[in-house]
Amino acid sequence: MSPSELPFAYAVDEFTTTPWSFEEDLHHYPRLGVEAIELCEAKLDERRAHEQLAALSASGLRVCSVQPAVRTLLASRMMPEPADPRHRLDRLRRTIERIAPYAPGAPFVVNTGPAPGGDMAAALDRIEEGLAALTRFAADHGVRVALEPLHPVMLNVETAVWTFSQAVRLVERVDVDGLGVCADLWNLWQEPGLAEAMRSAADRIALLQVSDWRTPRSHADRRSVGTGDIPMSRLLHAAFDTGYRGPCVLEIFSQDVPDSLYDGDLAALITDNHAALRRAWNDPR
């Protein structure tokens, strides 16, 4: 590995290129140096999903992870339906059945959803049961599950778990092989002692996601790497020190803001962030 290279495969989550179609993602990503794709089920056309997935296989892009269309185990503001947690679990199972053959070994990213009525204790008990059942089902299909804690701005809206340490404890309580934590640095970077917590829970990190932070002006206001406040170099090295060798996934949301990155050059967005990650990795600070 030369000094300028990342020790992680560079991957892009399809939400990062929301204005592009699924087919445009497959066309552009390999030409822009993207080594793997985080597949977003929401970009699939229900009428042509199997055809699209076959095209993905033919593209040569490796599916490193999957964002299900219904991600939260409990109903959330972004995904209120179906309301019944049992039906949501069924939706997740169907997602795994459909996509797992095209994504061997990949983690499927899930969030908890908010605690109904603010009763986090009861919500987490139910989430434990759901995670255990889903992870066993995923293992039967050759894939994994990654629980993603979300930033506290999403508390009581999309999540009942908002720190890396909480997510690790929940994963340890579930205690089923194939369940890990999705470490999205935008969500986690303000957690005190994050780098040390990552190092102490090395085998629990199933996925690493990156973007940069400024005080949000909408629920989808992330920045390009190196243009915000996240100490990217320190956290990339912390992930490496844990032994994590999975992909580094660029995940940017940029909606309902006047300077939306979605309105710019998406090809440049991909290549500029790749370069910024290499600079961060090589930054001794």
Name which of 229, 230, 228, 223 is nearest 262 in CA terms: 223
pLDDT at 9: 98
Paired tokens of 89: 């679990």
Q: With a threshold of 0.75, does the pTM exceed it?
A: yes
pLDDT in tens, 14-61: 999 999 999 999 999 999 999 999 999 999 999 999 999 999 999 999
Cα distance between residue 237 and residue 257, in whole Å: 31
Q: Read off the pLDDT band of 3 (50, 70, 90).
A: very low
Question: Average pLDDT for residues 147-156, to the nearest whole number?
Answer: 95
Segment 184-227, tens digit of pLDDT: 999 999 999 999 999 988 789 999 999 999 999 999 999 999 99
User: pLDDT, tens digit, for every residue of 225-279?
Assistant: 999 999 999 999 999 999 999 999 999 999 999 999 999 999 999 999 999 999 9
The pLDDT score that the predictor gives to residue 88 is 97
Domain positions in the chain: 10-282
The correct answer on CATH 3.20.20.150 for the domain covering 10-282 is: yes
d(Cα 89, Cα 53) in Å, to the nearest integer? 22
Question: What is the three-state SS of 95-163?
Answer: HHHHHHHHCCCCEEEEECCCCHHHCHHHHHHHHHHHHHHHHHHHHHCCCEEEECCCCHHHECCCECCCC
The confidence score (pLDDT) of residue 1 equals 45
Distance CA 184, CA 150 (A): 8
CA distance 28 to 23: 9
Q: Which pLDDT score, from 0 to 100, does residue 5 have? A: 87
Distance CA 160, CA 73 (A): 11
